[in-house]
Amino acid sequence: MRVLVTGGAGFIGSHTVLALAAAGHDPVIADNFSNSKPSVLPRIEELAGRPVTLHEVDLTDTAATDALFAAGGFDAVIHFAGFKAVGESVAKPALYYRNNIDSTLSVLDAMVKHGVSRFVFSSSATVYGEKAPVPYREDWEFLEATNPYGQTKVMIERILTDVAAVNEGWKVALLRYFNPVGAHASGRIGEDPNGIPNNLMPFVSQVAVGRRDRLTVFGDDYPTSDGTGERDYIHVVDLAAGHVAALDHLDAMATPARAFNLGTGTGTSVLQIVRAFEAASGRPIPYDVGPRRAGDLPTSYADATRAREELGWTAKLSIEDMCADSWRWQSNNPEGFPS
Report CA-CA distances (Å) from 207 to 16, 25, 78. Answer: 27, 38, 33
What is the C-alpha separation between 73 and 3, in angstroms, rounded?
9
What is the C-alpha separation between 332 and 164, in angstroms, rounded?
43
Decide the pairing of beta strands 230-231 and 268-269. antiparallel
What is the C-alpha separation between 260 and 276, in angstroms, rounded?
28
Q: At what angle do helices 62-72 and 102-114 cross, to 10 degrees?
A: 40
* Phi and psi, residue 136, nearest 5°: -70, 135
- Calculate the CA dihedral of residues 234, 237, 238, 239 and round it to 10 degrees: 70
Asked if 83 contacts 89 with a C-beta cutoff of 8 angstroms, the reply is yes
Amino acid occupying residue 73: G
- Calculate the CA dihedral of residues 124, 180, 316, 19 and round it to 10 degrees: 90
What is the C-alpha separation between 328 and 339, in angstroms, rounded?
20
Reduced to 3 states (helix: H, G, I; strand: E, B; else coil), residue 17 is helix
Q: Residue count of the chain, please give it.
A: 339
The set of catalytic residues is 149
Q: In 139-281, at which residue ranges do the beta strands (DSSP E only) sit?
A: 171-177, 179-181, 215-218, 230-231, 233-235, 257-262, 268-269
What is the C-alpha separation between 255 and 252, in angstroms, rounded?
9
